[in-house]
């Protein structure tokens, strides 16, 4: 299980249930609470009850806290589902987002000497595989509107059984990664969308039919552009795949398998899986010192 202790400059303290009820149940109690108490009361309610008399400053602060909370939860869940080998360890993820939420930087450094190197690579790939919404005003750097954060991530042993839902989601994620590595990663796609592969394969893993459609990204629907040439190229590559190497590949008694796989694509996802290239480049030059003057921890 991934235990995410993402730290940010935002104070995520929580208040007691009694204070929550006092702050939200009565008009007189609400406006007497401090700003932090009112915002924490909103967080405690799971977003079901908004504090009364919110100022524009408090609204911005609430949006900032919500943004960090979603980012922390998304990273944690994504690493959990991608970690099918059950690797354990801890890393420090440094990431930078543009004002629009585009990923500009992802660097994961192991903080556990006993952790496998692949775990840091996995976290880096997860970071490059996400799309974020526009950064709230209170989190934007005054210089360029960007956001730099440090996200400590810890994966430790958990004997709890994984639910069927989690297993299904993990399988879908691993299949999507297989198609990314073996099909879409060969293209420099400077667009936002989702490739839908609908295919049939035999017991030997040979693809006998593959229909590909390109669909809008729910995160950036306005940035989708139909690309017939790309669609045909993906379909042709799909027919050349050996699905015996795809995680979880299994054929039933019929001797064939009919499946659908969805693969998101966007410009910065081209960084996924480029660890070897980065390592080779690092060996050729001295590492430059990091400028941490704009980091928020």
Q: Which residue has the tokens 């999507």?
A: 176
Tokens of 54: 């919110």
Which pLDDT score is estimated for 8? 35
Q: List, in sequence order, the alpha helices (H) in the chain.
A: 17-25, 27-30, 35-44, 56-82, 117-128, 164-182, 228-238, 275-283
Which pLDDT score is estimated for 215? 96
Which pLDDT score is estimated for 216? 94
Give the residue among 75, 67, 101, 128 at the shortest CA–CA distance from 274. Answer: 128
Strands 207-215 and 147-155: unpaired
Q: How far apart are CA 126 and CA 4, in angstroms?
A: 14
pTM: 0.75
Question: What b/e sequence results for 141-180 when a residue is b if at least 16 CB atoms lie within 10 Å of its CB, and e otherwise?
Answer: eeeeebbbbebebbbeeeeeeeeeeeeeebeebebbbbbb
Distinct helix (H) and strand (E) counts, the chain: 8, 7
Where do the structural domains in the chain lie, given as residue ranges? 2-155, 164-265
The tens digit of pLDDT for each residue in 230-277 reads 999 999 999 999 999 999 898 988 899 999 999 999 999 999 998 755
Which pLDDT score is estimated for 270? 94
Asked whether the beta carbons of 150 and 295 are under 8 A apart, the reply is yes
103 to each of 2, 121, 132, 291, how far by Cα in Å?
22, 16, 8, 18
Which pLDDT score is estimated for 106? 96
Q: Give the residue ranges of the chain where pLDDT is below 70.
A: 1-54, 158-159, 276-297
Q: Which residue has the tokens 């690579």?
A: 121
Which pLDDT score is estimated for 237? 97
DSSP letter string, 12-53? -----HHHHHHHHH-HHHHTTS-HHHHHHHHHHTTTSSPPSS
CA angle at residue 148 from 273 to 140, to 5 degrees?
130
Asked whether the beta carbons of 32 and 54 are under 8 A apart, the reply is no
Which pLDDT score is estimated for 47? 56
125 alpha carbon, distance to own chain's centre: 9
């Amino acid at each position: 299980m991934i235990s995410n202790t993402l730290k940010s400059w935002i104070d995520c303290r929580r208040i007691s249930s009694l204070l929550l009820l006092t702050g939200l149940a009565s008009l007189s109690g609400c406006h007497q609470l401090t700003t932090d108490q009112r915002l924490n009361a909103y967080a405690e309610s799971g977003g079901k009850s908004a504090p009364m008399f919110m100022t524009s400053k408090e609204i911005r602060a609430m949006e900032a806290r919500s943004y960090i909370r979603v980012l922390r939860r998304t990273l944690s869940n994504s690493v959990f589902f991608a970690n099918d080998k059950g690797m354990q360890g801890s890393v420090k993820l440094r990431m930078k987002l543009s004002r629009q939420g585009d990923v500009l930087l992802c660097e994961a450094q192991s903080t556990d000497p006993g952790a496998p190197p692949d775990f840091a690579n996995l976290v880096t790939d997860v970071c490059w595989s996400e799309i974020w919404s526009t950064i709230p005003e209170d989190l934007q750097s005054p210089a360029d509107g960007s956001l730099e954060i440090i996200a400590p991530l810890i994966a430790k042993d958990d004997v709890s059984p994984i639910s069927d839902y989690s297993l299904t989601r993990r399988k879908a994620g691993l299949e999507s990664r297989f198609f990314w590595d073996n099909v879409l990663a060969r293209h420099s796609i400077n667009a936002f969308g989702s490739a839908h592969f609908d295919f049939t394969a035999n017991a030997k893993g040979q693809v006998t039919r593959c229909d590909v459609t390109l669909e809008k990204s729910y995160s950036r629907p306005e940035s989708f552009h139909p690309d017939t040439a790309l669609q045909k190229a993906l379909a042709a590559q799909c027919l050349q795949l050996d699905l015996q190497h795809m995680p979880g590949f299994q054929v039933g008694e019929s001797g064939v398998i009919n499946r659908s796989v969805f693969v998101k694509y966007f410009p910065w996802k081209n960084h996924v899986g480029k660890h070897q290239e980065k390592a080779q480049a690092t060996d050729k030059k001295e590492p430059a010192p990091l400028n941490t003057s704009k980091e928020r921890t």
